[in-house]
Structure 1
């Protein structure tokens, strides 16, 4: 995965992006823990491709109730164009068993063609990057750190927005990320904040004002360069918050959806969706 993603980052690097680097030991450990969580939760959706005993490709998907998602997918650069990616995608789509599904996709031409042929609608995504202008931060109230007893209503909120809950992913994220919630009546929502990468990781809310408050809280928690991504056109409220915080707006891949409307107000996670 490190080799595959590093090459993809280099090919997709913008002129003002820092030079991509391999993950350090701590990031690798977090990635291994993440994949281990998925393997233990729904191993039937996890596949690798081998050649002579070496892993040359991977596709890790998960069924969560009535929803399927693709968490990560890739083929080594020197093995691409041989049909490996198509076979991996066929395997994980078979695991979906007709469920509605979603994943965050790159702009790789062969991959996007495969996704579209599989029946996915490709919703263009935006991203916002930069350092938050601290003078723009509003006063925030009514929020608190999340607890395990919040996960039940959070799953119900997920179901209303994307057709199914995150289930065991919430418990894993609760132990690896910071969770902030709004639990007031008619203003429920949550945001996970990644302290290792200094960015919001997943956000869901009952309404736009609650979503905006949660995103402002996540931006206030950042200390350096931050990123808000997976912003689809239905979620322009997030664009407004990011621009107000003096972040720069750019484009980034697609949110691929099949059998479901565009979630709103919602900022997907790149891997937990």
Structure 2
């Protein structure tokens, strides 16, 4: 659409881009929800602030990967689409991407994704994808392989929780070995992302030099990112997350090479279902690993 401009994102675009994100993903949830799923709820003010803070961080670290599509509404410029990608050493990842429903099917998404992919500079890439037919078509045409993901949901049966040892609270001085583990699993370390996540999440680590691993847990005990050198360590970390869970919990981004997570979830009496894809190009699906939606 000629009236829509795709350009590098600026910090003052963030409030408008957040509103576009909230509408886009709420509509996607509504159209793809299972009959048994609860009705999607509007994004809370706290979640909106977290989205803006996270995207501001990405803008500060790698602004060249951050793009916005803008149109005019009653003479006022507003975001109608966004693509936030980042380079970390030899890896490119897409943190978030979407186009308002009323602007889909008009080439806006392609222009945004093309700009983000140009920033990759030929690096291997990874991101978490929805099941949106138009988006998945574009990803496949860009040579990404799409690997189905599973999720596990429910209330943990606390009688199933095992005794876990060998774990401790993580610190900033763990980042060096964590980045090396990241590099072994996903081509490149998370680099500055670790500092951001440590400021907003709980970090649990296994410092066993033969079988290291780490997991970031949110304030509800959900594993937001998990990486390990061995499935046994990964299972310990996931059990720690489940032990910290409050009420209904979620384990997501589970791919076929990460069946160890399914075993833990089933043992804890969680229900299994399907959700979207992990898309990769020029790299295998990481394992033992549970990706983060935004930091991959």
Q: TM-score range by the shorter chain?
A: over 0.9
Q: Distance in 1 between matches of 2:289 and 2:276?
A: 17
Q: Within 5 Å, which residues of 2 pair with 1:70-85?
A: 70-85=94-109
Deviation at 1:58, TM superposition (A): 0.2
In structure 2, the residue matched to 1:258 is 281
Q: Within 5 Å, which residues of 2 pair with 1:225-244?
A: 225-244=248-267
In structure 2, the residue matched to 1:62 is 86
Q: Distance in 2 between matches of 1:251 and 1:29?
A: 29
Tell which structure's C-alpha radius of gyration is larger: 2
The alignment of Structure 1 onto Structure 2 pairs a total of residues equal to 272
In structure 1, the residue matched to 2:148 is 124
In structure 1, the residue matched to 2:12 is none
1:12 to 32, 36, 41: 32
Deviation at 1:212, TM superposition (A): 0.5
In structure 1, the residue matched to 2:130 is 106
In structure 2, the residue matched to 1:32 is 52
Q: Which ranges in structure 2 are unaligned for 5 or more consecutive residues?
A: 1-20
Q: Distance in 1 between matches of 2:226 and 2:30?
A: 28
1:170 to 179, 183, 194: 194
Q: Within 5 Å, which residues of 2 pair with 1:128-143?
A: 128-143=152-167
In the TM superposition, structure 1's runs of 4+ consecutive aligned residues that sit over 2 Å from their partners are none
- Per-residue CA deviations over 1:6-63 (Å, capped at 9, x if unaligned) read 1111112112222111111111111111111101010000000011222100000000
In structure 2, the residue matched to 1:158 is 182
Q: Distance in 2 between matches of 1:192 and 1:18?
A: 26
In structure 2, the residue matched to 1:207 is 230
Deviation at 1:198, TM superposition (A): 4.0
In structure 1, the residue matched to 2:216 is 192
Helix, strand or coil at the partner of 1:184: coil
Q: Distance in 2 between matches of 1:155 and 1:47?
A: 27
Q: Which ranges in structure 1 are unaligned for 5 or more consecutive residues?
A: none
Residue 46 of structure 1 pairs with residue 69 of structure 2: no
Deviation at 1:86, TM superposition (A): 0.4
Give TM-score, length-normalised by structure 2: 0.91
Q: Distance in 1 between matches of 2:113 and 2:239?
A: 37
Change (3 A) 1:136 1:156: same
1:224 to 247, 250, 270: 247
Deviation at 1:3, TM superposition (A): 0.9
CA contact (8 A) 1:198 1:225 kept: no
Give TM-score, length-normalised by structure 1: 0.98
CA contact (8 A) 1:215 1:241 kept: yes
Helix, strand or coil at the partner of 2:83: strand
In structure 1, the residue matched to 2:41 is 21
